[in-house]
Structure 1
Amino acid sequence: MGMDTGDGRVAPPLTGGERETLRAYLDFHRGTLAMKCAGLTDEQLRQRSSPPSTLTLLGLVRHLAEVERTWFRRVIDGEDVPLVWSPEGDYQAAYDTTGADRAEAFAVWEAEVEHARRIEREARSLDVTGYQPRWKAEVSLRLVMLHLIHEYARHNGHADLLREAIDGEVGA
């Protein structure tokens, strides 16, 4: 297990096995997103703080809930569940935070993270595969975890800029 970073996150281990390290990095990035949103009002979370972009912190939370749901539940677990915010499968719908609030977005995101953790824990190995229809290919749990780490890292960079523009808070 890694060291406490002092900001609510746990740093990944410096000498862990593959699965332990992937799990820890993914959780570290999940914690970073939560940290970037901490202490803000619903209005601030919906603030489009880097014009002309329409990206918001709340939109990122909603988007990453869909990403977790898609890759772990739909792809690896083979569940036939629709997207949360778009039964038609439009991934962009999560970014529209009109009428959205923190409680709903975070409840959905946290629930999807828990599903993802359960699916990963129950998988016999990182070599377990699921079908990704958009790619028309089988993908491994290993690839899914790496893809999610990449997705969070990229969006946490956005979150960092959005947060700084809202209240000047910086740091990862």
Structure 2
Amino acid sequence: MTWRAPEITRTPEPYVGDERTMLEGWLDYHRQTLLLKCAGLTADQLRAATVEPSGLTLLGLVRHMAEVEAWWFRENFARESVDYPYVTEANPDADFDVSDADAETDFATYHREVELARAAVAGRSLDETFTEVGSKGRTFNLRWVYVHMIEEYARHNGHADLIRERIDGTTGE
């Protein structure tokens, strides 16, 4: 049997709530939107670069967002030691290299990183600050991370719209 990306029922974005509820709700909405763009596709379809000349793929976006979740929530904010599944110093774009990728494993990695990100920020204040890992030394708060992640997903979900439409004509949502 050919593996396919699981179908997903997306939770509607929140219309009313306190700041934390709104930020978490919108982030989850965008996480689910990325998965919705992949739903029902085979591993080969997920690896297909369909918007030439870009080499962007749906599976590359899933892998990239797994790494971004780990980078901002776990490594930067929570100061956890993270073993990145794709990116290395020698290959900083390895998350987008899906030529030999196992889609089922990569989807499991993505789901695990989202859960680890949730755990890293559970009960923490949106006002809590941290200094970015690396040489830039910029200071952020957790609120900024949520807003940035919503923006990052929204931008990549636009890419995913185009890629999915080229694969099978599916549009919208």
**How does the TM-score come out when normalised to structure 1?**
0.91
Partner of 1:121: 122
Aligned length: 165
For 1:72 and 1:60, how far apart are their aligned partners in 2?
18
What SS does structure 1 have at the residue aligned with 2:127? coil
For 1:71 and 1:90, how far apart are their aligned partners in 2?
19
User: Which range is displaced more, 131-140 or 11-20?
Assistant: 131-140
Partner of 2:3: none
For 1:90 and 1:140, how far apart are their aligned partners in 2?
29
Q: Cα–Cα, structure 1 residues 96 and 102, in superposed 2: closer, same or farther, change >3 Å?
A: same
Amino acid at match of 1:102: A
For 2:25 and 2:116, how far apart are their aligned partners in 1?
16
Structure 1 runs not aligned, ≥5 long: 1-6
2:33 aligned with 1:32: yes
List 4+ stretches of structure 1 deviating above 4 A: none
For 1:13 and 1:42, how far apart are their aligned partners in 2?
32
Give yes or no for contact 1:48–1:56 (8 Å, CA) kept in 2: yes
Task: Quote the offset at 1:130 in angstroms.
Answer: 2.3
For 1:54 and 1:138, how far apart are their aligned partners in 2?
33
For 1:30 and 1:152, how far apart are their aligned partners in 2?
7
**How does the TM-score come out when normalised to structure 2?**
0.90
Residues 1-172 of structure 1: pairs in structure 2 closer than 5 A: 8-88=9-89, 90-123=91-124, 125-134=125-134, 135-172=136-173
What SS does structure 2 have at the residue aligned with 1:71? helix
For 1:105 and 1:91, how far apart are their aligned partners in 2?
17
* Per-residue deviation, residues 53-109 of structure 1 (Å, max 9, x unmatched): 000000000000000000011011101224221232754110000110211111111
Give yes or no for contact 1:82–1:89 (8 Å, CA) kept in 2: no
Give yes or no for contact 2:46–2:57 (8 Å, CA) kept in 1: yes
Give yes or no for contact 2:88–2:94 (8 Å, CA) kept in 1: no
Give yes or no for contact 2:78–2:121 (8 Å, CA) kept in 1: no
- Percent identity between the aligned chains? 48
What SS does structure 1 have at the residue aligned with 2:113? helix
* Per-residue deviation, residues 93-146 of structure 1 (Å, max 9, x unmatched): 1000011021111111100100111122231x1011222135311211100000
